[in-house]
Amino acid sequence: MPKYIFVTGGVVSSVGKGITTAALGRILKSRDISVSIQKLDPYLNVDPGTMSPYQHGEVFVTSDGAETDLDLGHYERFIDEELTKASSVTTGQIYQAVIAKERKGEFLGGTIQAIPHVTNEIKARVRAIGRETEAQVVIVEVGGTVGDIEGQPFLEAIRQIRREERPEDTLSIHVTFLPHVGSTNEIKTKPTQHSVRELRSAGIQPDIILCRADHEVTAEIRRKISLFCDVHESCVISLPTMDSIYQVPIVLQDENLGDRVIELMGLDAKPRDLAGWRELVERLEHPVGELTVAVVGKYVELHDAYLSIKEALIHAGIAHQVRVNIRWVHSERLEQEPVGGLLEGVDGILVCPGFGERGIEGKLEAARYARENRIPYLGVCLGMQIMVIEYARHVLGLLGANSTEFNVQAPHPVISLLSEQRGIEDKGGTMRLGGYRCRLVPGTRAAAAYGVDDVIERHRHRYEFNNAYREQLAAAGLIASGLSPDGELVEIAEVVDHPFMLGSQFHPEFRSRPDRPQPLFREFIGAAKSLRSGLDAGILSGERERVAAGGAGGA
Ligand code: GLN
């Protein structure tokens, strides 16, 4: 039977509860304890798939096609396990299931209530993931902060599970924030005390309190929290703000979080070992060079909207020992201001995924700039479609080329609706979602990057490369380099005569790990690094243009 660790948050949101949860997973896994992680999100949406990125940030897609909270991305990157839809539970899903049962008459005439019907459904989901994954420990993170009205059924379900299981089989970790008052230069514990009181009023006494703070948490403060919140002093753990999220497992390990958890839960564990992870962080912190990648999207003011892309670029940078600086470029600005100004001096251009027409022409400008100036380009999903449209317009001369997503009457619909999508009206969960096999075309850059015959990558789209234009585009130098096993869908396309111009219909960023960069990202950054070193050499002799054009051996 699995053991459960429940992670709740107090005081304020956005203090890194998701990363803390992911980091704890990593610590336990490094001690040979198998782990899975689940997120309980108290909002009423069934999933975040239909939410605006302004509300929610990125939608992370699991291999089995669930559209989930971005915290699942942190979990996968830290524990390196493929999670499934069982890892993402929302109030919307819970009510949907309860009401469906009610309609079928499964409650035999009973009155349906928050307790026990809603809480039973929550408990069933928590227990299901333990059974399905056979993990020794399931870490369950509750979204939001303790005290939120929507979160109450989840806390009640947790209270019941804690009562039903043996005491050593569950653990409660409360992540709080300790504010600093500048005028008196003091760190304050009162909000934490209140938050713990709130948690207790839901019937949950925390076992460990994890204090996020921007200033040092002294022994005296720990003693105070220990006394007021009835938690052993060694179980008051401090987590200062770090430069990189990848440092968090190391800091928490040094703070003995793993030891406390293992001790309190009576787990059998190997001695501490984060050597590999430390090495990785070491490489991240000591790059030998740096380069700049323009990330073009319409939500760039909110970096969380492209979180996995940002992390995948960092991972690729670690592999090449370079710091990848991101220049966030708003696609609409590219429509209003000179492109050459906004993209000047970048070593690579990445065009982001997206839906809808806003900013499309700006993204096309970015693709054109990359192609004409021979700057490495990586197109993700919509970014791949953009690359195809731009090529059709400016290389093939098909001026009306477009995606039917933006113009149903496009004279040259080089991107068109997937046949399976015709007639679908519901917005939620109806795209082509999750992992699909992709066959790599021998001799292409994509095949060389992966070094295998086929791969499984994750998708989230409704539109596709229109096969009616495949031959024409290939003859002009834009070829399909990854195909669905039946050869029908173009999953990767690339420009033959360019240092690196490639786009994938899938989202390579979801499978990138800090210690295992995704191959397309890795090659993209490799190409950017080559351009940079060529430029650095060329700039000395004032030959920037010639180097960028490939004339001075940019490779
Ligand atoms: N809007 C495009 C489609 O649905 C691209 C989607 C995406 O970038 N995820 O095909």
Q: 121-125, 353-357, 372-376, 550-554: which has the minimum mean pLDDT?
A: 550-554
Tokens coding 402 = 């477009």
Beta strands in 97-255, from DSSP E residues, in sequence order: 137-142, 170-177, 180-181, 186-187, 208-213, 236-240
Distance 65 CA to ligand 1 centre (A): 15
**Domains of the chain with bracketed CATH:** 3-279 (3.40.50.300), 287-535 (3.40.50.880)
SS3 397: coil
Q: Count CA atoms closer than 13 A to 432's CA, side-chain side.
A: 23
Q: Is the per-residue pLDDT at 111 higher than 80?
A: yes
56 is catalytic: no
- pLDDT of res. 299: 93
SS3 43: coil
Confirm if 233 and 217 have CB atoms less than 8 A apart.
no
- pLDDT of res. 551: 44
Q: Please report the atom of ligand 1 found closest to the CA of residue 355.
A: 1
pLDDT band, residue 82 (cuts 50/70/90) = very high
| Residue to mutate, 309, 355, 419, 457, ligand 1, most ligand atoms under 8 Å from C-beta | 355
Give Cα 307 distance to the centre of its chain. 5
- pLDDT of res. 338: 92
Confirm if 394 and 368 have CB atoms less than 8 A apart.
yes
- pLDDT of res. 15: 82
Over residues 348-359, the mean pLDDT reads 95
Alpha-helix runs per DSSP H in 37-118: 53-56, 71-79, 91-104
CA dihedral for 65, 132, 97, 37, sign (positive or negative): negative
Q: Which residues are near ligand 1 (CB < 6 Å)?
A: 353-355, 381-382, 405, 460-463
Distance 298 CA to ligand 1 centre (A): 13
469-515 pLDDT per residue, tens: 999 999 999 999 999 999 999 999 999 999 999 999 999 999 999 99
Distance 352 CA to ligand 1 centre (A): 10
Distance 486 CA to ligand 1 centre (A): 21
507 is catalytic: yes
505-542 pLDDT per residue, tens: 999 999 999 999 999 999 999 999 998 888 777 655 55
Q: Is the per-residue pLDDT at 196 higher than 50?
A: yes
Rounded to whole angstroms, the Cα distance separating 313 from 508 reads 11
Tokens coding 423 = 């007639």
- How would you label 72-109 residue by residue, b for 16+ Cβ within 10 Å and e otherwise? bbbbbbbbebebbbbbbbbbbbbbeebeeeeeeeeeee
Point out the catalytic residue in the list 352, 381, 457, 498: 381
- pLDDT of res. 54: 84
Residue 161's alpha-carbon distances to 28, 229, 340, in angstroms, are 22, 22, 59
Rounded to whole angstroms, the Cα distance separating 292 from 395 reads 27
Mean of the per-residue pLDDT values for the chain? 93
Cis peptide before 517 (omega within 30 of 0): no
20-39 pLDDT per residue, tens: 999 999 999 999 999 999 99
391-445 pLDDT per residue, tens: 999 999 999 999 999 999 999 999 999 888 888 888 888 889 999 999 999 999 9
